[in-house]
Amino acid sequence: MVNRLLSLQVSNGDLAEAVAFLTEKNAKVPQQDEPTYYQTSQVANDRYISVGSQADTNVIDLTGDDKDDLQRAIALSLEESSRAFRETGITDEEQAISRFLEASIAENKASLKRTHTEVWSDSPDPHDRKRMDNCPVGLKNVGNTCWFSAVIQSLFNLLEFQRLVLHYSPPARVQDLPRNQKEHRNLPFMQELRNLFSLMVGSKRKYVDPSRAVDILKDAFKSSESQQQDVSEFTHKLLDWLEDAFQMKAEEDRYGEKPKNPMVELFYGRFLAVGVLEGKKFENTEMFGQYPLQVNGFKDLHECLEAAMIEGEIESLHSADNSARSGQEHWFTELPPVLTFELSRFEFNQALGRPEKIHNKLEFPSMLYMDRYMDRNRDVTRIKREEIRRLKEHLTLLQQRLERYLSYGSGPKRFPLADVLQYAMEFASSKPVCTSPVEDIDTSAPPGGTTGQQLPQPRAQVHKPFTQSRLPPDLPMHPAPRHVTDEELRVLEGCLHRWRSEVENDTRDLQGSISRIHRTIELMYSDKSMMQVPYRLHAVLVHEGQANAGHYWAYIYDPHQRRWMKYNDVSVTKSTWEELVRDSFGGYRNASAYCLMYINDKKPFLIEEEFDKETGQVLSGLDKLPADLRRFVQEDNKLFDKEMEEWDALQARKAQQEKLPPPIPPPPPPLMAMQDPDYMEQPSPTTDSKQLQQNMERAISQAAAAQEDTSPETLLNAAIKVEYGRLMHFAEEDVASDNDYRLQHAVVYFILNQAPKKILERTLLTQFADRNLAFDERCKSIMNVARAKLDLIKPEEVNIEEYEMWHQDYRTFRDTTTLLMIGLELFQKSNYVEALMYLIYSYQYNNELVAKGPNRGHDEAFLSHFRRECLLKLNEQAAGMFEAGEDPQVTNGLGIMNELVVPCLPLLLVQDAEKDLLAVEDMRNRWCSYLGQEMEPNLQEKLTDFLPKLLDCSTEIKGFHEPPKVPTYSTLELCERFSQIMATVAKALTEGR
């Protein structure tokens, strides 16, 4: 019952969505500590029954034993939705479940991170680009080259492949090679690949630039450079070039012998094709590299492989007669050490005239046993396949019988038979309670009236022609038999009870038989004899987006650390199997696996580290490289060291220049070398200068009243103590969000941030040296003493550079506050377009401050919340404009996305904050959800143009707004306005708006 109520809540009352939620095989009430999304990856039950060809699959959601009968009936009654599945590859149930699951992800720890440590561009500070310890090196995206990064990282982490590339040497007689081989530029690419691999081994950089290798490859593709390349196409081309390069070397090294090509040995296998063509049997041996597999219509990798190994009608293969049927089977005779599967997730939509991506869910294991597909096991596999076929036929019959129990009736509405009998029993045992419908509707009787009283006179005056003419005078309150004897009721109840028990027993028997058959099929290949060819998952290449646009990244297993790593261009992060599953299986999002790379688990040399022959130690870093590459990497590292040295020297020069005093305007006042901060001294009698005068006068008056000695120097010292005490009181107050005392005075800010005592003293002395203080003789004399003291302060006593740094931080704090205040005011007015830049830059400035200490700026989470909310609001507005379908609105909506939202997304990713990452995921999912919807061609074209920008994870910024000009407010006005907006925001957050 809890599931049913939750389903209606999730679906907003939509019955179809509620049904979809109820019938999901693992549907349950999501708990806070339970990752709901992960549960969909369980493979305990078969959800798909093939009733036609493999490509035309009728999908029926058969729930497991933990579902009640009503849920089973609902699931089986939705058979008509399988037509939509055959057309789009996604069932109605899955679409509805997708919406629910995506909403529930936000309540769980999300690992999906499109994290890029460099999001705007290469950081100008080379220290930010320095490799930490021995972390894996990333690859820079040099313009839609994530496809290159994903494949290269997967191959690089095959240590045997890495060694082959690093130790490759070109043929000695390159000039003697045929011209066409040189024109292919295989050898130049091979050298660039060696250079790239050597940098990935020993570079001091966090990520390296693959441009030179990419440029050579791009010439091999006929498409535009701006278009993303297909991973499988690129991998084919890459392996072809590598094969050619190694073939040239092998032929030179083994002159007169049949050369062995290490690329062929590593990536290529053989299979035997046996079959019948027009009644004639044949056997052919063929070589294969990447093995293509169809995704549409299958639930896991084994189903894909089974379909790929059997083509056409093969009954005649096992019969003695020569029929006219044609078909063939594939049997692997030799598997490569590295077994790569291409998952065909793209197909061409003839109706729409464009390619589309297949988002179906497809599961694959971390350990894959290939025994059932080997030629040497042909006879055993055929027996098992025949047994599975027989079991599935029996399973289909049992499921049909079960359906008759779970979906009983002849009309469009059907119910479980056990429930029908129960309802009949409840009806038979109901007692009729009759009342007049007029009485039931009449409201003229007083609320406190006695039910036994008869009030004919008032009711006689009520005229209700509709109810009186349509309803019988005495109608039972609830359906019940009008005439049934006790004996009839006893017999009927006995029969119905017995029949219901029989139906429930039959249903349980059928369900048990179905479960046993499923289990038998699952365990068909689990005996040891069929688990002798283990392949472990090495890498998964993931694609997110649509058929002609998107982003690639790779999950690669590190066997030495025993963990998965996510390689996403420049970003290399730790990951988990759960994150891989969520990104790779597909079915509910726009990300899914596109290529699977398995390695033979019985050939450890593929991933073994190289050892020093003399010491026996593992080779790492530059020690792994041959001499020429070691010199190449050392030179690059020297350039990087020089870049860091030059940066440090530049920063030192800038710091030295900042120490120099500003030009002295003529005529030079005696103490103008040390200018007062602009927020402390105003050139005209502004509100701040008047407030300053009042504070100083008050401090001097209090000091004079407490001192016997009224000399200017004594009064100055006493007044400074009074003023310091007042400001210290502010600093000791709890800082409320709507009353920030740091805005009152720089000294309060300095106290809270533990500034040196000399900084505080000089700041207060500068305050009493303000020329605006000279409004009477006593104050003027104190001002002159303060100025004289300032002039006598030696550089070694107060570090001017440090003093300026503290005051610059305070100026930045006030600017940050002003930007935040204006941004929040605009946000409260729903003016999100104008609010965004204020909130973005207030967060950026604040982030620089809080890096030095938590009290240097405002609450980082607070600013992050409104920056994120503003982007979400803009995304929602833009999506609504796009959905409207009108050209001006669509253009405006996409303009908001391109000019405001998309350039700001990297800011949410760089900090790796969970809520920000989820917000980016939500925004991307909102737009990716339009991919499967019907829309006008012009909208489809605009969406196709826009999505690559939204999904692109390139490190280069396409353009951004200048920071808004920070207006100048007096301290009083800034404090009052900031206090008002913070109180308004706090109230709104408390009320949940």
d(CA 887, CA 355): 25
Give 832-890 as a DSSP string: HHHHHHHHHHHHHHHHHHHTT-GGGSS-HHHHHHHHHHHHHHHHHHHHHHHHH--HHHH
Q: Are 190 and 241 in contact (CB under 8 A)?
A: yes
Q: Which residues contact 6 (CB under 8 A, 6 or more apart)?
A: 21, 29
Strand duo 549-558 + 138-139: pairing: unpaired
Q: If we measure between CA atoms, which residue out of 291, 373, 379, 281 comes closest to residue 327?
A: 281
Handedness of CA 121, 127, 130, 132 (dihedral sign): negative
Nearest CA among 845, 823, 837, 812 for reference residue 742: 812
Could you write out the DSSP letters of every residue in 228-272? PPPHHHHHHHHHHHHHHHHHHHHHHHTTTS----HHHHHH-EEEE
Specify the residue for token string 């993931």.
542
Helix, strand and coil content of the chain, in percent to the nearest 5, comes to: 55, 10, 35
Of the residues 551, 745, 807, 858, only one is catalytic, namely 551
Contact 429, 489 (CB under 8 A): yes
The C-alpha atoms of residue 524 and residue 357 are separated, in whole angstroms, by: 33
Of these residues, 116, 302, 543, 807, which one is catalytic?
543
- Is residue 483 among the annotated active site residues? no
Contact between 475 and 434 under an 8 Å Cβ cutoff? The reply is: yes
For residue 345, the Cα-to-chain-centroid distance in whole angstroms is 20
**Cis peptide bond upstream of 336, omega within 30:** no
- Alpha-carbon distance of 152 to 165, in angstroms, equals 12
Residue among 676, 680, 696 at smallest CA distance from 688: 680
The residues pairing with 286 across neighbouring beta strands, listed in sequence order, are 271
Residues 6+ apart with CB under 8 A from 9: none
Tally of residues, the chain:
993
Q: How far is CA 134 from the centre of its chain?
A: 26
Q: Compute the distance between CA of residue 248 and CA of residue 168 in angstroms, rounded to an integer.
A: 11
Q: Which of 116, 146, 302, 518 is catalytic?
A: 146
Q: At what angle do helices 687-706 and 712-732 cross, to 10 degrees?
A: 110
Q: Among this protein's residues, is 551 annotated catalytic?
A: yes
SS3 category, 359:
coil
Q: Which amino acid is at 610?
A: E
On whether the CB atoms of residues 694 and 770 are closer than 8 A, the answer is no
Structure tokens at 164: 């082959």
- For the annotated catalytic residues, the residue numbers are 146, 543, 551
